[in-house]
Amino acid sequence: MTGANRPWLLALPVLAVVGAFLVAPYLNIVLMSFRVPSTTQAYAPGFTLDNYAKSLFDWLYIEALLDTARLAVIVTVSCLILAYPVAFHLARTTSRWRGVLYSIVLSPLLVGVVIRSFGWIILLANNGVVNQALRSYDLPRMQLMYNEFGVILALVHIFLPFMILPLMGAIQGIDPRLEEAARSLGAGRGTVFRRVILPLSLPGIQSGCILVFILACGSYITPALLGAGRVHTTTTMVVQMLDQFLWPFGAALALTLALFGLIAVWVFTRLSGRAMRGMA
Amino acid sequence: MNDRVTSGRLALGCAIALVYIFLLLPIVIVVAASFNAGQGLKFPPDGFSLRWYVAFFTSEPFMDSLRLSLAVAVVATVASGVIGTTAALYYVRHAGRWREVFRIYVLAPLLLPEILTAIALLFFYYQIGLGTRTVVGLYIGHIVVCIPFVFLQVTAALYNLPPSTEEAARSLGAAPGVVFRRITLPLIKPGVINGALFAFIISFDNVSISLLLKGIGTTTLPMQVFDYLRWGFDPTTAAASTVSILMTLGAVVLVDRLVGLRTVRF
């Protein structure tokens, strides 16, 4: 009954639910992206390539796509720089605080994206905590949100655990005796890091970067809240299209972003794979 | 030389400490803001007060959204728990030639950008005539995005359970149903419960799916907070956020007491 005689029964629920409510909707959205937009109904009769032409050749949308990519790259690199020392420390420490520190890394994951963005709004708003502190010291007000800075800062915070965890895994997998051997052969700390630890942790760097880049490209909530209409990413534009009922064009724009993300990851994997072979 | 090494290590230590502070800061700030007595935000704060909690618990819209959030999270947890567990059993014990394809298929909701999944579901619901007049679509969306988390946890638990345990029971004459109930299920229970915990948190905190699929006139708690934030600052949202954080924390502590979280795999 539980599948000894008919094991495919176990696969049935997931095949049905994911098939009906993920595969079918995605096929539908692909079809939708070739429809003719209409403001009075979901789409007008006929098929067209115009939606893709507009997504790929209209400067407004190219600019949004490039902005999204630039934002995602800055977020990824910042996460990597902040995460590496923490991951290294966490992977190697024998301190009895290790458990506590590990929960600090995980704790942001338990708090929703909206709430974490909210925390940054309280800190960065024009009359937020930081600016009020500045004013009490008679320092000039700083524009910390409603711009890219605020969006980037909040996104780095939100995705940092996704960088720390794979890095930590990779560094834990490096045999500490390799470092000791290099040290005993006369290598300095810097050299050991550059020649031993860094090359061996590259797989962790690779998976962390891919994860954060993809998540940053697809993020909507944080740019919407901290950018408040002044920072345009492809995702905020897609949601705008939905509000204006231009569904086929919104679909094409969203799929262009997804495709772009996939291509970027593919290129990155090829390049970093070559770097890994070169360094190993 | 030695001095330089120590000061370098000190600097690195400080940098690491700063990152930890950075990770906690916005969460601490939200909780602190919820206890602030003043109408607006003040630094330093105006004093301690619970008035925003009173405002939260007496607010009709916030209570409605909290109820809907809990209902959706519970349904999504149970449904994705069953679907994810059966899928994991099939994948680890029975899948043949197509096992890797099957794995990607089950993990697809996690691999695809959530906002794109929400858009695809929205269009699909309108195409099949379901629309967003009811919250059924919202429930289904949450179930779909929760399945991979249960699947990953249960798969890990099953890999730690040698098939020989089940074979032993079977060779001693136990029927397949009995083997599952008395042997397999108790042994993978921690994995199932951890997966359910993930599903609950993912659903309870979800915004991307809820943003597009919420029914007309209904909304979930994170969506309510999102809407409030878009139209200005109201300390009630800080109280709402703190309650939401306490609820996820409560779920984590409960599961830790039940099975111990050391078995969780990331």
**CA–CA distance from B177 to each of A105, A184, A185, B81 (Å)?**
41, 60, 61, 19
Q: What is the pLDDT of residues A187-229, one digit of tens each?
A: 888 888 888 888 888 888 998 998 899 889 989 999 999 988 8
3-state SS track over A115-153: HHHHHHHHHHCCCCHHHHHHHHCCCCCCCCCCCHHHHHH
Predicted complex ipTM exceeds 0.90: no
User: Could you tell me the pTM of the whole model?
Assistant: 0.88
**In which band, very low, low, confident or very high, does the pLDDT at B266 lie, cut at 50, 70 and 90?**
very low
In terms of CA atoms, which chain A residue is nearest residue B240? A115
**Total beta-carbon pairs less than 8 A apart between chain A and chain B:** 238
Tell me which chain B residues have a C-beta less than 8 angstroms from the C-beta of A119: 25-30
pLDDT at A3: 45
DSSP A42: S
Residue A37 has what DSSP assignment? P
| Cβ-proximal residues to B143 (8 Å cutoff; 6+ apart), any chain | A17, A21, B75, B76, B79, B80, B83
A220/B211 CB distance under 8 A: yes
Min Cα–Cα distance to chain A from B198, Å = 9
pLDDT the model gives residue A1: 43
Of B82, B90, B245, the CB nearest to A7: B90
Please give the residue of chain B at the shortest CA–CA distance from A26.
B120
How far apart are the C-alpha atoms of A32 and A248, rounded to whole Å? 5
Judged against a pLDDT cut of 70, whether residue B263 lies above it is answered with no
Interchain CB distance below 8 Å, A25 and B238: no
Confidence at residue B96, expressed as pLDDT on a 0 to 100 scale: 80
Residue A5 in 3-state DSSP? coil
Backbone torsions φ then ψ of A46, nearest 5 degrees: 95, 170
Which chain B residues contact residue A132 at CB under 8 A?
Answer: 41-43
Distance between CA atoms of residues A138 and A130, nearest Å:
12
Residue B184: half-sphere exposure toward Cβ, Cα within 13 Å: 27
Q: Does B124 touch chain A (CB under 8 A)?
A: yes
How far apart CA A13 and CA B173 sit, in angstroms, is: 29
Q: Do B229 and A117 touch (CB under 8 A)?
A: yes
Q: Is B113 on the interface with A (CB under 8 A)?
A: yes
- Return the higher-pLDDT residue of B93 and B46: B93
Please tell me which of A151-155, B191-195, B213-217 the model is most confident about, judged by mean pLDDT.
A151-155
For residue B262, the model assigns a pLDDT of 58
Residue B55 has pLDDT above 80, yes or no: yes
Of B84, B176, B208, the CB nearest to A2: B176
Size of chain A in residues: 280
Question: Does the pLDDT value for residue B224 go beyond 50?
Answer: yes
Tens digit of each residue's pLDDT (9 = 90 or more) over B152-186: 889 888 887 888 888 888 888 888 888 888 888 88
CA–CA separation, B233 and B212 (whole Å): 23
Q: Calculate how close chain A gets to B190, using CA atoms only, in Å.
A: 19
Is residue B225 less than 8 Å (CB to CB) from chain A? Answer: yes
Going along chain A from its start, the domains and CATH numbers come out as: 51-279 (1.10.3720.10)
User: If DSSP codes are grouped into helix, strand and coil, which group holds residue A36?
Assistant: strand
CA distance A16 to chain B (A): 10
pLDDT on residue B121:
93
Whether A32 contacts A248, CB under 8 Å: yes
DSSP type of residue B261 = G
Summarised one tens digit per residue, pLDDT across range A82-104 is 999 999 999 888 888 888 888 88
> Residue B262: what residue type?
R
**Residues of chain B positioned with their CB less than 8 A from the CB of A260:** none
Which amino acid belongs to residue B61? P
Q: Does B200 touch chain A (CB under 8 A)?
A: no
C-alpha span between B201 and A112 (Å, rounded): 9
| Closest in B41, B124, B226 to A114, CB measured | B226
Chain-chain contact of A110 with B249 (C-beta, under 8 angstroms): yes
The average confidence (pLDDT) of chain B is 86
Q: What CATH fold (topology level) applies to the domain B54-263? A: MetI-like fold (1.10.3720)
CA-based nearest distance B249→chain A, Å: 8
Q: Which residues of chain A have pLDDT under 70?
A: 1-5, 279-280
Which residue of A110, A129, A258 is in closest CB contact with B116?
A258
Per the CB < 8 Å rule, is B205 touching A42? Answer: no
